[in-house]
Structure 1
């Protein structure tokens, strides 16, 4: 189908918005120009003078299917992503059954093929059932479409297991993506170790729980030559270790979540499970280090760690609630409002961190507005201020403390391969 998105604006390298219309055909971007003859197109969408970007790319989401469909499904999770302007998401393997064989991974992809409204790339686990020390058959998993290998949700506790996994992944040209958490340093912690944990009488999580395992892993990554990617960095110590590793020429990349850039433990008003996430909200100095790490290139991209849960299980105390926060539908708006509107980040930087860079570091054909690229795009309203309302969510999960926040940058339309994947009202 020959489709036109008219009356839009795109951002150029000098951070200036310029008028643009985009011609989509056969799933690709056919042309970008100021005006086209509207009568020659089968479908025309009006961007209403707002920003057109490449579709956002999220390398860290939890879609919960199979096994936990009371929390989320591939259908609802992918709709949630589309509503947030994401056109490619990478789904974690903490499922039931864990997709630790080629057969199980194929079954997940069959559901994706049937129900997803955006492009979903599925991670495979590093070890069988995530918690074992037995490595998966990486070669077989790669052959059926594994995006990368991760045990997200738990850290790989044994250095020897991680070394062997990295060695095999490097030989296959695949990435190891790590949730870094030394369980011997957890001490049953449920939130950041600090004044707020003491005030609430809750066991704390040390910063060294995360940073110490990153330190171990970057040494192993240097030894094996693997592409090592660190999930949801949250502490200043972690930023320092990653920065030093990059300076040493180790192939390490890293992501940060919006909630860690915006919130700190001092924002937690009470013992309420909606504020419980892993890694936890950290101190002001940690948040400052994360922002600095993004700006200087130590941290490569922003990823949501979208982690939906049932309302009843989250609406408990820190000691009983599971870790996790949803983020697919609020990420761009929160980053735009809190950082671009305040002059801390440029719009160009944000699009790079949320679309271009994650695609680039994982070698994906995504995240760019160029002729011949996949017609994966999003349109965002940078002017109208709206209130985050969980009643509007496409996700089954509403576990976020951001409900009620006023934001700009809300999604108007999302296109995947030139087809409308989500639109707001009559957009």
Structure 2
């Protein structure tokens, strides 16, 4: 039996010792109270730091198999644990794409053996993510795909999306949409607007997102499917989701920390670390995203963790790969900018980064109580530190936040009853 004692952890206003057997919390005792002896437990000391439910990220790229020079399930899951995450959802755009039952079986097995945390697996909506057909959603739903997405590609044909929604609804699965109309991208490398014009770089029209989202929300209204918007980035998209929710559409949405904290006015030079898809939008868009998160239109925060090699993120935005890493910086950035600043409470942040992601996908939420699954993390919320790429355990070091002073450092992460990370 695997036995762990997490001692001297701050839970609310109390210092407690939390005993875990296998993957279940079996006791929570105040430090100064009488309790059972734990002589045969492996002890981890929280040193008075805050324990909280494990974080959840519904949007990560682990690049395994096929692109393991960027990341592997082992390094990616360890990076997640280093960031305080106990559960992640892995995207299907690996090589080979997770677009058939056998590929899904392989991924589920690999996630089970290689990941140090709980890793759910998405499967794709269409073959190779970009073909005008539908995958065998029924078979892959039966095997355990958490949901279906063509992340990295917008579904260009309404008929493909409609059929996917009907099938997903039949099997009580969500459609997770990367909304992007290819005809409006114009080979852009950043948001179309004044910043792109000033830098002489081709811009991506923001209508590429909102126009396809409008189409999908109408389809979701008709089919009744759970439709989840990945990495929402424009003011128009926030408005559309708000209207759809008022109409009773079963829609949820996620936003990334970088779209909340950065915008295209901050791109003062041709900087590959500021290249991601969707791109950083205008200050007006960023303000709308923050407002949408605060009023509940946007349900959760997700990183879109996208590791690349150093070579792929150097040179010009014209040639560099899209995407940045986020698992090891997400909580600290959000805690510092939103909680430490006094804008929201820690519990609100945990709603966005733990409770709501699980609830949206009909999964049991992480709780710190006797009888609950042991998915928790200990954070030092009191001491500032500097984000340092050399401290990342992810293979990817591609972040625009290097050098930022933040609070909220992960000390211990316990997932599935095992210590996945400790400092």
Report 1:12-51 matches (<5 A).
17-35=13-31, 37=35, 39-41=37-39, 42-51=41-50
Report 1:180-329 matches (<5 A).
180-329=179-328
Quote the Cα distance in structure 1 between the aligned partners of 2:201 and 2:320: 13
Question: Does the 8 Å contact 2:118/2:416 carry over to 1?
Answer: no
Quote the Cα distance in structure 1 between the aligned partners of 2:288 and 2:26: 41
Question: Does the 8 Å contact 2:263/2:282 carry over to 1?
Answer: yes
Secondary structure in 2 matching 1:30: strand
Q: Deviations over 1:216-269 (max 9, x none)?
A: 101100100000000001111100000000000000000000001111111123
RMSD of the TM alignment (CA)? 1.2
Quote the Cα distance in structure 2 between the aligned partners of 1:278 and 1:207: 11
Query: How far does residue 371 in structure 1 lie from its aligned partner after superposition?
Result: 2.8
Q: Larger deviation: 283-292 or 405-414?
A: 283-292
Unaligned runs of 5+ in 1: 12-16
Quote the Cα distance in structure 1 between the aligned partners of 2:141 and 2:170: 12
The residue aligned with 2:111 is 112
Quote the Cα distance in structure 2 between the aligned partners of 1:399 and 1:157: 29
The residue aligned with 1:394 is 393
Secondary structure in 2 matching 1:129: helix
Query: How far does residue 184 in structure 1 lie from its aligned partner after superposition?
Result: 1.0
Q: Does 1:103 align with 2:99?
A: no
The residue aligned with 1:71 is 70
Quote the Cα distance in structure 2 between the aligned partners of 1:219 and 1:270: 39
Q: Deviations over 1:316-346 (max 9, x none)?
A: 2111011101000000000011111111121
Question: Does the 8 Å contact 1:155/1:180 carry over to 2?
Answer: yes
Query: How far does residue 303 in structure 1 lie from its aligned partner after superposition?
Result: 0.4
Quote the Cα distance in structure 1 between the aligned partners of 2:388 and 2:56: 23
Quote the Cα distance in structure 2 between the aligned partners of 1:33 and 1:301: 32
Question: Does the 8 Å contact 1:5/1:46 carry over to 2?
Answer: yes
Question: Does the 8 Å contact 2:105/2:143 carry over to 1?
Answer: yes
Quote the Cα distance in structure 2 between the aligned partners of 1:214 and 1:37: 55
Secondary structure in 2 matching 1:77: helix
Secondary structure in 1 matching 2:27: strand
Secondary structure in 2 matching 1:39: coil
Question: Does the 8 Å contact 1:304/1:331 carry over to 2?
Answer: yes
| Length, aligned pairs only | 419
Question: Does the 8 Å contact 1:85/1:378 carry over to 2?
Answer: yes
Query: How far does residue 38 in structure 1 lie from its aligned partner after superposition?
Result: 6.6
The alignment's TM-score, normalised by the length of structure 2, stands at 0.97
Quote the Cα distance in structure 1 between the aligned partners of 2:175 and 2:370: 32
Secondary structure in 2 matching 1:40: coil
The residue aligned with 1:14 is none
Name the CA shift for 1:318/1:114 in 2 (closer, same or farther; >3 Å): same
Q: Deviations over 1:383-421 (max 9, x none)?
A: 111111111111000111111111110100000122110
Quote the Cα distance in structure 2 between the aligned partners of 1:366 and 1:26: 18
The alignment's TM-score, normalised by the length of structure 1, stands at 0.96
Query: How far does residue 37 in structure 1 lie from its aligned partner after superposition?
Result: 3.2
Q: Larger deviation: 28-37 or 321-330?
A: 28-37
Quote the Cα distance in structure 2 between the aligned partners of 1:94 and 1:238: 24
Question: Does the 8 Å contact 2:275/2:317 carry over to 1?
Answer: yes
Unaligned runs of 5+ in 2: none
Q: Deviations over 1:32-58 (max 9, x none)?
A: 332363732512221111111111010
Quote the Cα distance in structure 1 between the aligned partners of 2:329 and 2:163: 38
Quote the Cα distance in structure 1 between the aligned partners of 2:29 and 2:152: 45
